[in-house]
Amino acid sequence: MAEARKLHDRFFKQAKAEGYAARSAYKLKEINRRRQVLRRGGRVLDLGCAPGSWLQVAAECVGPKGLVVGIDLKPVTIDLPANARAVVGDAFEVDAAALLALAGDKAERFDVVLSDMAPSTEGGGGGTVDHFRSVALCRRVLDLCPSVLRAGGHVVMKVFEGEEYPRLLRQTQRLFADVKGLKPEASRDASREMFIIGKDFRATAAPTPAAPTRKDGA
> What per-residue confidence (pLDDT) applies to 167?
97
pLDDT at 7 over 70: no
**pLDDT band (50, 70, 90) for residue 217:** very low
**pLDDT band (50, 70, 90) for residue 10:** confident
pLDDT tens string 58-75: 999 999 999 999 999 999
Residues marked active site are found at 158
Which CATH architecture describes the domain 2-201?
A: 3-Layer(aba) Sandwich (3.40)
Count CA within 13 A, CB hemisphere, residue 140: 31
Burial of 2 (0-12, 13-18, 19+ CB in 10 A): exposed
> What per-residue confidence (pLDDT) applies to 208?
43
pLDDT at 162 over 50: yes
What is the full DSSP assignment across the chain?
-HHHHHHHHHHHHHHHHHT-SSTTHHHHHHHHHHH----TT-EEEEET-TT-HHHHHHHHHH-TTSEEEEEESSPP-SPPPTTEEEEE--TTTS-HHHHHHHTT-TTS-EEEEEE------STT---HHHHHHHHHHHHHHHHHHHHHEEEEEEEEEEEE-STTHHHHHHHHHHHEEEEEEE--TTS-TT--EEEEEEEEE-TTSPPPPPPSS--TT-
pLDDT tens string 72-117: 999 999 999 999 999 999 988 999 999 999 988 766 899 999 999 9
Query: By C-alpha distance, which of 83, 93, 91, 100 is closest to 48?
Result: 91
Mean pLDDT of 38-55: 97
pLDDT at 152 over 50: yes
**pLDDT band (50, 70, 90) for residue 2:** very low
Bond preceding residue 81 cis, omega within 30 of 0: no
Residue 30 identity: E
